[in-house]
Amino acid sequence: MKVNENKIVSIYDENNRDTVGEFLDEILEQSLKSSEAEMHLLYIQKAFEILRYHPLESILHKKIDVLITFQGYPRLKSYEVVKLLSVYPIYELRYAMNGNMHLRFLFFPMKHNGLSYYVFAKQFIKTRRPNVDQTNQMRDLAYQMYEDVLRNPGQYLEGTD
């Protein structure tokens, strides 16, 4: 049985920065020194894996079991991994780092040359205390990036295989 695979790519933003890639590099570096960062990295990697191998429709608006093995023991979180934001087609890949810090990766689906892509455009952390929520601002910036990719998908997607 062939499994459809969605290509996951991150792109440079309006400031010519790959904030998603930079964050992932940073947490990878931290995971070498901190078991807490290692656990976060494992959950983030698993969330990306779920997105990579499942169509959006199958995981949207559903609690998904995210199972990792950390220090030899299984760990399970069940939560809504992907959420559609109020501006279509911008979605967020979600991960709660703790009760206060909530990591968000904003992305949009894109088809190009017969391939399915999830294009990651923005990353940020929401907090409850103090209440810091950049969702609307980041969503709007991600939508502008979506329009840029839509105008010239080859510039952003070719050579990402």
- Averaged pLDDT, 16-34: 96
Contact 111, 103 (CB under 8 A): no
CA distance 23 to 27: 6
Q: Quick one: tokens of 137?
A: 């601002």
pLDDT of residue 110: 95
50-95 pLDDT tens trace: 999 998 999 998 999 999 999 999 999 999 999 999 999 999 999 9
Share of the chain above pLDDT 70, in %: 96
For residue 160, what pLDDT band results from cuts at 50, 70 and 90?
low
- Tokens 């996951």 correspond to 8
- Which residues contact residue 123 at a Cβ distance below 8 angstroms, ignoring those fewer than 6 apart? 19, 20, 23, 103, 104, 105, 106
pLDDT of residue 1: 47
39-48 pLDDT tens trace: 999 999 999 9
pLDDT of residue 132: 86
